[in-house]
Amino acid sequence: MDKVAALEVRHRISLAGSAEIAAAALAGLPGLVQVEGRGQRLDLAYDLRLVNLDSILTVVRLAGIQPKTSMLARLHRAWIRFTDDNALSSATDPGHGCCSRPPKGR
């Protein structure tokens, strides 16, 4: 797998309103590969180099739809931010390879 494909992530977000309206609002957002809304569930695929969860949620809020505010939903969004940040950091890390090589002189 190349680094370009590694930066595409897929997530599901729970909303307090219509996911179809949110999907329509997100339709032209650069970096969004796929968006599908069903009921109160928004399925997303996006390129981390171009867009992140917070920018997606900003567009959703501007469309008048709020994300769910339950503790589980907030924890899930925090986990998404954490994994997205790790994926982006890993993809841009030059990789020193220190862990796969034994020290010299031994």
| Domain-wise residue ranges, the chain | 3-100
Exposed, middle or buried: residue 44 (CB in 10 Å: 0-12, 13-18, 19+)? buried
| Residue 66 main-chain phi, psi, to 5 deg | -105, 145
Residue 105: the pLDDT is: 61
Q: Give the predicted TM-score (pTM) of the model.
A: 0.81
Residue 96: the pLDDT is: 61
Fold topology of 3-100: Alpha-Beta Plaits (3.30.70)
4-15 pLDDT tens trace: 555 899 999 999
Query: Which is more confident, 8 or 100?
Result: 8
15-67 pLDDT tens trace: 999 999 999 999 999 999 999 999 999 999 999 999 999 999 999 999 999 99
